[in-house]
Structure 1
Amino acid sequence: MTRPTHRDLPDIRLQRAYDDPGANDGYRVLVDRFWPRGRRRDALRLDEWARDLAPEPALIQWFGHRPERWDEFRQRYGAWLDEPAQAQRLSELLRAAGDGVLTLVYGARDETQNQAVVMREALIRAAKQQ
C-alpha cells in the first residue's frame, strides 16, 4: 500500500462564520454545535451543519478557549473524532467534497485554537487511511 503524497491530501480550509463566504470555498460545513450569533443562514451559504461532530458542550465549557487547556482539548476532541462512528462521518464529509475544497466554518474568535483546527487534523488522518 502506498502512502498518499502531499498532493493527494484534501484541500481543507478554515473560515470564521463572521467572514463572508468566498467563491472558491467548495463544500462549506458549519462545525459548531450552536449557531453563530447574529448570522443568518443564507449569509453563511452552508452545504451542511455537522453539529454531530462538534465537541460536546461539557468539553467546550471546560476548554473555555483558555490557551493553557488547548493541548488537552486537542487530544481529547481528536481522540473522540478518531472513534469509528465519528471517523465514518468524517469520511462522509471528505466524499461530499470530492476532489474539491472542504471549508470548515466555525464561530470562535481564536483562529488557531478552536474545534475546526482539530477537525481538520482528524480529516487529514481519515484521508490518509482511505
Structure 2
Amino acid sequence: MSTIPVIILKRVYEAFSPEDGYRILVDRLWPRGLSKEQAAIDEWDKDLAPTTELRRWFHHDPQLWKDFSEKYWKELHETNLGKDFLKRHQDQERITLVYAAKDEKHCHPIILKQYLESL
C-alpha cells in the first residue's frame, strides 16, 4: 500500500474549501438542514461510523467518551473496514472526514482518524 493520505477533520456545516481535498461524510445519518450541494461531499461512507447501537448508547455524553472510544476502536478493528478504505483512497493526497457532531472534542471522527493513521 502507498502512503496514507493526509486526513483532516471538519464539521460538515463549515464552508467547503479547496484545501479539503476529497470530502467524505462519515456519519450514519444525514446532517440536519443540509442539502447535498451545501455538504459538498465526494462520498458518504456510513459503514465507517459507529454502529447505531453504539451511537445511541453514547448519545454524545462526554462522561462516556473513554468507554465509547474503546468500543468504537474495537468495532473498527473487527470490521477491517479501515484497510479497505485506505486501499480505495490510496491515490488521494488529502481526505477530509466531515461530520455533523457539535462537540468537536468528543466525536467519533477523532477516533476514526487515529485508527486510520495507525494502519
TM-score (norm 2): 0.89
Query: Which has more radius of gyration?
Result: 1
Deviations 1:49-92 (A, max 9, x none): 00011111111111011111001111111111122531333323
The one-letter code matched in structure 2 to 1:43 is: Q
The one-letter code matched in structure 2 to 1:110 is: D
Q: How many residues align?
A: 117
Between the aligned partners of 2:112 and 2:59, the Cα distance in structure 1 is 17
Pair 1:51–1:78, CA change in 2 (3 A): same
Between the aligned partners of 1:67 and 1:28, the Cα distance in structure 2 is 26
Q: Is 1:102 matched with 2:89?
A: no
Q: Is 1:111 matched with 2:104?
A: yes
Stretches of structure 1 that go unaligned for 5 or more consecutive residues are 1-7
Q: Does structure 2 conserve the Cα–Cα contact (< 8 Å) formed by 1:80 and 1:86?
A: no
Question: Could you say which residue in structure 2 is the equivalent of 1:44?
Answer: 39
Q: State the identity %.
A: 36
Following superposition, which runs of at least 4 residues in structure 1 exceed 4 angstroms of deviation? none
- Aligned partner of residue 90 in structure 2, secondary structure: helix
Q: Tell me the C-alpha RMSD between the 2 structures.
A: 1.6
TM-score (norm 1): 0.82
